[in-house]
Amino acid sequence: MQRVCIQFVLLTAAVIGLSFASSRLWGGKPEGLTDRGPLVVEDTMTVAQFGQHNELPPALLKKVFDLKSPADSQKSITAFGMSNEEIGRKTEGLLALHAEHGSKNWVKILVKFSLWLAFLASVFVLMVRRRVTARNRKWLLLTAVAIFGVALGSDPSPMGTVKDAIVLLGARGVIFPPRLIAFGVFLLLVVFANKFICSWGCQLGTLQDLVFRLNREKQDRKNSTRQFKTPFAVSNSVRIAFFGAIIVFAFFWATDIVESVDPFKVFKPQTLGLGGAAFVGAVLILSLFTWRPWCHLFCPFGLVGWAAEKISVFKIHVDYHKCVACGACEKACPSTVMGAILKRDRAIPDCFACGTCLETCPAEAISLKAGKRSEPPAGKFALDIVETETSTVKQRPSKDKGEN
């Protein structure tokens, strides 16, 4: 445990320190929604006066009032058939879009998406060939954290494409088209290969995974200390409730409830307040003992991705002709998902295609491939029932023998 603690402290310090330096070099967008104060809209104003009083750029005024010529800017704002409330809402929405667009480093975003696609393609090939092992898994995760988090920052992220879209729509009534495009790309990656963007591309997901692997034994089949596997019914219920809260607060109070505790800010640490730092620290410490707590309990994209992975083209399959029903894959799996995939006796939780099951299976019966999963033959895992019944008999009180 001492070794684990030292490695955890060194990793966390390196991520925070290097991210601080990197984010200072890149600059970045202001956190949260920009509050300009209330717009001043009066019937006596011309379009030009409305723009000057509220410090609005001419291009935005042109969109608000659909101006056809420069002379239209001298017309009264009442001449365009909109009420003051409509003018205010339309202006606020366009201001929000203008601020979103201006706050993005489009060069960095293009570089990040290009590297995402290249890196994920490489890992996909390794997964299909069963080349993701305990030896190289940590290096792959560390590479993802270093590139997509430390070097390229907290934004964009899979979570942001869902959470920020909901908040902007609820608070300002507009949709930022580039964010929808990013969401579509991420969703396609989920559908192509079982939640691949979450498993190997998401900067926070890979950081949690890397922290978790610090507390695993050398073969990466069990934790060095006790591990907690949260039942899927519990974790998904919490995640659904949290997703609902994001929507309610965004639409009723124009509030982003994630902003102050956003764990992605570990890659932009100067924006973390005391409460946010405490929450991020708790998530990372919890990651030592339970796999990807933010992903399973809170992430809105994680919830959407869980639904989308049901139609993934490439996913984890079990060849029941080869399977010897030893249960090694289920025991080594960081979550409860492999047991559900193996036995098909309950709802299948999030599968992050981490590859642990592929390496662990002694019969090479597990693979990442395309197609529909097959059902286990009847009685394939009957031994589990027999063992359970045998264990129950052995645990009966000794007084039964005396009664017999």
Q: For the chain, list residues with pLDDT below 70.
A: 28-36, 383-404
156 prior amide bond cis, ω within 30 = yes
Distance (Å, whole) CA 337 – CA 347: 9
pTM recorded for the entire structure:
0.89
DSSP one-letter code for 66: T
CB 351 within 8 A of CB 316: yes
- CA dihedral angle for residue 124, residue 126, residue 127, residue 129, rounded to 10 degrees: 120
Both tokens assigned to 338: 């492999």
Q: d(Cα 364, Cα 370) in Å, to the nearest integer?
A: 17
77's enclosing H/E stretch is none
**Type of residue found at 199:** S
Q: What is residue 118's predicted lDDT score, i.e. its pLDDT?
A: 98
* Nearest by Cα to 127 from 188, 203, 196: 196
Give the domains, in start order, of the chain with CATH numbers. 2-29+104-306 (no CATH), 47-103 (no CATH), 314-383 (3.30.70.20)
Bridge-based pairing of strands 366-370 and 314-318 is antiparallel
pLDDT at 34: 55
Nearest to 94 by CA among 72, 69, 63, 53: 63
- pLDDT for the residue 383: 60
For residue 66, which amino acid is it? Answer: D
Strand-pair partners of 315? 369
Show the DSSP H helices in 66-105 as ranges: 84-103
Over residues 189-242, the pLDDT tens digits come to 999 999 999 999 999 999 999 999 999 998 999 888 889 999 999 999 999 999
Strand partners, 216: 223
Cα distances (angstroms) measured from residue 52 to each of 96, 125, 246, 344:
18, 57, 36, 65
Return the pLDDT at 1: 80
* Residue 29 host element (H or E): none
Q: Where do runs of H (alpha helix) occur along 254-394?
A: 274-286, 293-297, 300-308, 328-332, 337-343, 356-360, 382-394
CB atoms within 10 A of CB 402: 7
